[in-house]
Structure 1
Amino acid sequence: MENNKITEIATEKLKERFRMLKVLTYTLAGVLLVSVIFNLFVFKKAPSLMIVPLALLPIVIINMNNISQIRKELAKRLNEQD
C-alpha cells in the first residue's frame, strides 16, 4: 500500500480498513503461531510441515507494516482536525 493511496482514502473508510486489517492480521498471526507450536510438538518427525507457517509469515509482516502506516495517517488526520 502506497502512502499516496492512503492519503486519498476517506477517514471513515480508512478506519474501517484499519479495523479489518488488524483483526485479520492478528488472527493469521495467531493461527500461524498455533500451527508452529502444533508442528513442533506433534509432528516431530515431519519438519516439512513447517514450510506453510514460514511461507505465510511475510503476509503478516507486510500487513503489520500496512497497519502501522494507516495508524500514522489516522493520527496525522486527528492532529490536523484539532
Structure 2
Amino acid sequence: MKKKFNEMTSEELVKTQKSLKTVTYLFGVILLLLFGLNIFLIANKGFSASNVIPIALLPIFILNMNTLREIKKELESRN
C-alpha cells in the first residue's frame, strides 16, 4: 500500500523525491528524443500509428512532474 506524503517521514520524502526526479528527467529527455524522431519520420515517411506514442506517454511525464511539486510543497511545509 502506498503511503500518502503527509504520512511519510522527511527522509522518506527526500529519498522518493531524488529517485522520482531522476526517473522523470530521464523520461523527459527520452520523450524529447522521441518527439524529434517523430518529426523526422513524419517529414520523410509520413504519418503512421507509431507517431502517437510520445503523445500517449506525455501524461505520465506530467503526472510525475505534479508529484514532484507535491513532494516539494510537503517538504517546504515541514520547514
The two structures have a TM-score, normalised by structure 1, of: 0.82
User: Where does residue 52 of structure 1 map in the other structure?
Assistant: 53
Tell me if structure 2 keeps the 8 A contact 1:25–1:63. Answer: yes
| CA-CA distance at 1:39 after TM superposition | 1.4
Tell me how far apart the structure 2 counterparts of residues 8 and 30 of structure 1 sit (CA, whole Å): 31
Structure 1, unaligned stretches of length 5 or more?
none
How large is the Cα RMSD of the aligned pairs? 1.5
User: Where does residue 64 of structure 2 map in the other structure?
Assistant: 63
Provide the identity percentage. 36
Count of matched residue pairs: 75
Q: Which aligned pairs between 1:21-40 and structure 2 lie closer than 5 A?
A: 21-40=20-39
The two structures have a TM-score, normalised by structure 2, of: 0.85
User: Where does residue 10 of structure 1 map in the other structure?
Assistant: 9
Tell me how far apart the structure 1 counterparts of residues 77 and 51 of structure 2 sit (CA, whole Å): 40
Greater Cα offset, 33-42 or 46-55: 46-55
| CA-CA distance at 1:51 after TM superposition | 1.1
| CA-CA distance at 1:26 after TM superposition | 1.1
Tell me how far apart the structure 1 counterparts of residues 42 and 4 of structure 2 sit (CA, whole Å): 44
